[in-house]
Amino acid sequence: MDEATRHIEPPAYFTRLATRLEPTADIVKKTLKSRGRVVHLLYLKSVVDMMQLQEIVVKPFYEMSAEQNFPEYIQSLPYETKMPTGDEEVLIEITKGNVFVMIDKQITLLELKIVAANAVQEAIMEPTVHGPQLGLSESSETNINLMRQRYHKPSLIIEPMQLEDASNRDIALIYDGERVNLQLLKKIRKRILTLDVELVQASGDLQYYLNNKKYSLFPTSLLTERPDRILHNMAVGKVIILVDGSPHAIIAPTTFFDFMLSMEDAYYSFWVVSLIRFLRYAGLFTCIMLPSIYVGVTSYTPEVLRTELALTVAASRIGVPYPSFIEVFFMLIFIELLTEASMRLPNSISATATTVGGLILGTAAVEAALTSNIMVIVVSLVAISTFVIPISEMNYAVRVCRFLLLLYTTVFGLAGMILGMLGLLLYLVNKDSFGEPYLRMFWKNRQEELKVDDS
Amino acid sequence: MSRFVYFLLISNMTANLIAASPRIFFAKSEEGAIVTMIIALFFGVFMNWALITSFKAFPGKSLPQILSLYLSKWITIPALFILGVIWYVSGLQTLITYIDILLRFLTPEMSVYLVIAMFIPVITFGVIMQSRNILFTLELVFVLAFPAAAYYIVKLYFAEQVSWDHVGIAMTFIDNPPDYTVFTTAIYLFVGAFDIIIFNSFLNKKMTFGIKQALIVFILGAFALFTTYFIPIGVLGFDQVEGIMYPWILTSDSIRMKFGVIERVIFIFLLLFLAIAFLNITIHWHVACKLFQSAFGIEHVKLKLRKKASLIIVVTVFWLIAIYTTLKVTEYDLFLYSKYYFNTIPVVFIGLMILMHVVNRRAKS
């Protein structure tokens, strides 16, 4: 009798952990007892796979004969995770879906978590015709599996880390140990560990915090959902950061040219890719400069254009009651609104919004002489060429730049436009991403050139 | 030589088209301009050779760093100060000329203040930028501007308006004795590479100046001089070219693009050269800024704040002088002062070479 009660009464450590978790409803404290053997289990039923628990722990416990060693069995299970030191850490492990098993003095954590969102999602942000059609999933374990599946090298290193924020989010650094720049790795690791943030929800906000500069306009790390892009970057020695629960990976460091690269470029022939690249860069310059050119040419120096064209532009502006820069601002804001609206709306309604906004309002605005025909062409061209940029973050940055350049041109004219562009170039060249130059030309091999600079 | 040295060289050569140099050449076109330019061409190559060779022993070190290692403060500080002034004036000259051109040809209805204000934020940012990044910017602008520049040059050489007979007439004045001012103006085209007195700290590879490099510099210089001198003569006529304020702008404006969206080539010229002039000013002022900072020993001050403050002071002084002179200087003054400025170049060059000679000898012993 005395012995029996001593076994049933859970040990002090177990009770201590249990009381810490007590207020929550999904906590399960269980004591399995059979033939003098006692096992204490502690877990959260919402994150633990019950079927597995039943198969792996409960059933063998009752089926094993007395001679067999149950504690040995538990320890030999492949589900065992490393036991952290400290109560707090153990509790965090339990909330992640580990089952706390206590047999006499032996304590073990078994990872029997169930993840609801481990389905691989279709690539929505960066779709390609060729190449993998599926992106990442929301579970970082599935994502790591995706990496491993495509990159069979022992030098692929996965380095788990834990954020010190409110959610104790798991993140993982993934890199090729042979190719990665160690200096860079140290820098990234340090920046993640020194993050002082309230809550990280997804890769997106982690990327923002990693940036370290509050008012930086251009992204210094890339957010992607494509496994092929991740591998492409990992193979050149970059570091990938995965956040558990987010279907996007962060790639760092990045240069400006990385944002102008679509994965499709790797899957087509040279000439096709050259043409597409040319179009993309042409689109980049068009969407930044065209509104400014319009203002500079119509309001400051109409003689730049050939006479016939200058007259056409002037004629189309007859009846427009305000100077060209107001017209451009008005139309650009209008198109931004349209873009935002069609992005946020459900698919079924967004078509209506674009039709009403683009076609009907555009035509009506011209007929009401609120804007010129040519302005509508300019704005449409700008809107289209913005979407040629493959990565949406760069897309947003460019949209902001366009307004800044427009302001500079409005004040200073065509010469201001060129100077503004040069200023933008200066800004980009002066920027760095984790110590890597953001915008510079490479004539030789990239790594080779960087090495020459550093030596 | 590092490719950046060529970029520096080319940017200086091209920037001269808008400065006072063409006018100085044309003023002396009947008094030995051609023969002087030929002499200057060889001397220019020699200058580049002397510069690169003198810096050969110090890869990855800028002039202030080298001087502080081997010479006493009493020589270093005045030398750096004088060089700083020379470099500052070089940038200032381009700035004033370009502001004048903008006011005349691109935005005539704008006020001077507005045009100056347009330059201030962008150039200031360029000047206070890291030196290495200035070189990268230079390269990028070259790549971006190259198509327009190539088109422009081809258009010039193959334009109907170029009368090669006038060039022939100009050639007949080859037997006149050389002229000092033309000589100094022509060798100013070759001083671009001298920016390495600061940028050398980022050119870690040991530079060589052999036959190949000499040939490249020679060809670049010959092309630049030939274009600067003969194309306006071909387009505008040998007799008329002397009396023109900005020969290159009129030259560009005589050429049309029949099927282009932009009909007048002058706008390509103006916008292209705005970029070149901007680069030129930024590079020269950046070098000047660094020279002043090391002359006053500010580089050694550990405190970051004080370094920033010194930068602000230097840049403010730069702009105050620039604004004052831009407002005061007339076109005639600019022409005159440019002449004086060009005339000092050989002296500065000889001084710098003596300095480097001493330093090289001390470094060896």
ipTM of the complex: 0.90
pLDDT digits (tens, 9 = 90+) for A340-349: 888 888 888 8
Residue A454's pLDDT is what?
53
Which residue from B143, B267, B275 is facing A441, i.e. has the nearest CB?
B143
Alpha carbon A301 to chain centroid distance?
44
Which tokens go with B351? 């001084």
Contact B124, B286 (CB under 8 A): no
Contact flag B274-A306 (C-beta cutoff 8 Å): no
- What are the backbone angles phi and psi of residue A43, rounded to the nearest 5°? -160, 170
Strands (DSSP E) contained in A22-169 are 27-34, 37-44, 80-81, 98-103, 106-111, 156-162
Contact flag B107-A455 (C-beta cutoff 8 Å): no
A294 contact residues in B (CB cutoff 8 A): none
B107 contact residues in A (CB cutoff 8 A): 300-301, 412-415
Residue A5's pLDDT is what?
46
- Low-confidence residues in chain B, pLDDT < 70: 297-306
Contact B48, B9 (CB under 8 A): yes
Residues of A with CB under 8 A from a CB of B: 300-301, 303-307, 309, 411-416, 418-420, 422-423, 425-427, 429-430, 437, 439-441, 443, 452-453, 455
Substitution target from A297, A430, A444 for chain B, most B beta carbons within 10 A? A430
Contact flag A443-B126 (C-beta cutoff 8 Å): no
Number of H helices, E strands in chain B: 15, 0
CA B16/CA B188 separation, integer angstroms: 8
Substitution target from A378, A421, A429 for chain B, most B beta carbons within 10 A? A429
Tell whether B61 is within 8 A of chain A (Cβ). Answer: no
Residue A4's pLDDT is what?
46
- What are the backbone angles phi and psi of residue A181, rounded to the nearest 5°? -85, 120
A411 contact residues in B (CB cutoff 8 A): 114, 118
CA A437/CA B202 separation, integer angstroms: 14
Residue B301's pLDDT is what?
58
The CA–CA distances, whole Å, from B310 to A409, A412, B288, B306 equal 32, 30, 13, 6
The size of the A-B interface in CB pairs under 8 A is: 95
pLDDT digits (tens, 9 = 90+) for A135-148: 888 888 888 988 89
- What are the backbone angles phi and psi of residue A140, rounded to the nearest 5°? -70, -25
Contact B348, B340 (CB under 8 A): no
Percent of chain A residues topping a pLDDT of 90: 18
Tell whether B26 is within 8 A of chain A (Cβ). Answer: no
Percent of chain A residues topping a pLDDT of 70: 95
Q: Give A420→chain B minimum CA distance, Å.
A: 7
Residue B304's pLDDT is what?
66
Contact flag B262-A426 (C-beta cutoff 8 Å): no
Substitution target from A293, A412, A424, A455 for chain B, most B beta carbons within 10 A? A412
The full 3-state SS of B104-167, as one line of letters, equals HHHCCCCCHHHHHHHHHHHHHHHHHCCHHHHHHHHHHHHHHHHHHHHHHHHHHHCCCCCCHHHH
Tell whether B120 is within 8 A of chain A (Cβ). Answer: no
| pTM of full prediction above 0.90 | no
Q: For residue B279, what is the nearest residue in chain A, using CA coordinates?
A: A422
Average pLDDT over chain A reads 85
- Low-confidence residues in chain A, pLDDT < 70: 1-9, 66, 212, 444-455
Substitution target from A407, A426, A427, A449 for chain B, most B beta carbons within 10 A? A426
A448 contact residues in B (CB cutoff 8 A): none
Contact flag B261-A307 (C-beta cutoff 8 Å): no
Could you give the residue ranges of the DSSP H alpha helices within A69-111? 70-76, 87-95
Residue A71's pLDDT is what?
82
Residue A2's pLDDT is what?
45
Q: Give B107→chain A minimum CA distance, Å.
A: 7
pLDDT digits (tens, 9 = 90+) for A46-64: 888 888 888 888 888 888 7
